[in-house]
Structure 1
């Protein structure tokens, strides 16, 4: 089971309807896993995803910077009304040049300028789902939400969400303007959102989007202690991929391989299907630059678990302890941040 003809299932993120599997564009500029074949190929990959039933595309101004949005905008040209575009602001990036100025910036004026640049690059008049990429510890979330409300009134933004926020920030943001989605890393390797964020999404009626749902390729079964990454690939910097931790993490890969044989699926499909089975309002957005991987991910829709199978798989997963942090310490410090209170 490697591919499905087209995706047919639709899921809800708040009031937003999207395909049950999305496509992330983070790797398309070629600055995460190493160089890509060509920009033309990435545009074609986006269009193929549309043809295969993918309606949910995720990007960010930081990817490139700017290049992933340009690729996506060109890829959905002519079919813009058939897809849902999500993108993100929040890093301190010069809106004109793309220069990374360091740190975060969710000041209202910066958000407005960032959104105008996004609209140009995406060749559209509205952003379906706009995320704050990381919570800015210097800006009250109420100020961010009020800015989003203004952009909604102007028709530039339709829905909004947060990426890697603290739970109280979610509550405060949602109280000002309802959130459609929370986007966090979530995979069989990293299950942190199960503690607070997923229950909170259920309580508030917020959808959940999984970034890195394949753990940067670890749950595809293609990475092992003998893997040699190409120059420019950031994955050797992940603590769980270190020479000390990788061998201890291989039981998860074996679990996926075993279940793949059992279900007639690939390890990646087992991994994505497990995420989708957690809740009907969870949507994974695996990034890829390869057609074969895109089709493989889409084929996940054909993989289902009975209640007994899901319990069995999850119980086996519970027994595996992953060694090593999910991200470098400097990046982790930006996750789970609570926004400061609004001055009285």
Structure 2
């Protein structure tokens, strides 16, 4: 009976598609073996090279044969989620036309390096596995990838090559052990949604380069250990949603965050410009010392500021005990100030 069911569900489905030049029959072969309590992948009677979509999800499959995968030459959608897979066959690298791959809900600790050969891949879903790392050069090869979902794994970093996924729209890396984001984040010029929430005690700092994600619409960094948001977030013109709940935020304070996204941006701009006002109910001890003439130094309000032709604020510092602090030229919104090492501008 089970064999008969499999044969019925593995029948090729033909669809007709009308085109402007006339009526043309287009074959779209789909094989659906999902939810059948299978322990292994059956060897279908049809030619594997004609299959465009294979769904063997929600079974108990532990191994996908190398020989079977290598013959799926024209497959575009492969769904193997919710099985007992501990590894993927290396022959998956032969699937040059594969666009959607779903391997979520398995027991994978790594992805084969050969997956980099799937250069047509647009969506990779590897959620709910045991991944400890991704292939080091995965981002250099999967140039068409638009969505990368690796949430609920054991990743403690994303490889540097991830920052070269220039067509990436969605990056979901929540519920891992991430400690940082890769360098070169500004290369992700099409990234719209970034979710690195719930990395809990591992994730402490956002890089300044996050402000160069020019297409970013949603940023979720909730439930981490972030205390300070970088000023560069104020430069995200397309940002519509910012989630920072569950962080021990100090700057900006949570009362500012709870007001609105605009309030956060205004706070960061003021902090960037050095015009941030902090409430004070008591006179400072410094003011009292100056009042009684025990100190001749100038206060911050006494220091001269002037604007140069490029819009930079120039601060003049007084020497202390013969040691002079060098003057600096810092732009209010200059990327040089935000994204470059401090030592680079010390003269």
- The TM tier, using the shorter chain, reads under 0.3
TM-score in terms of structure 1 length: 0.25
Larger radius of gyration: 2
Q: Which has the higher contact order (CA 8 A, sep 6+)?
A: 1
Q: Which has the higher helix share?
A: 1
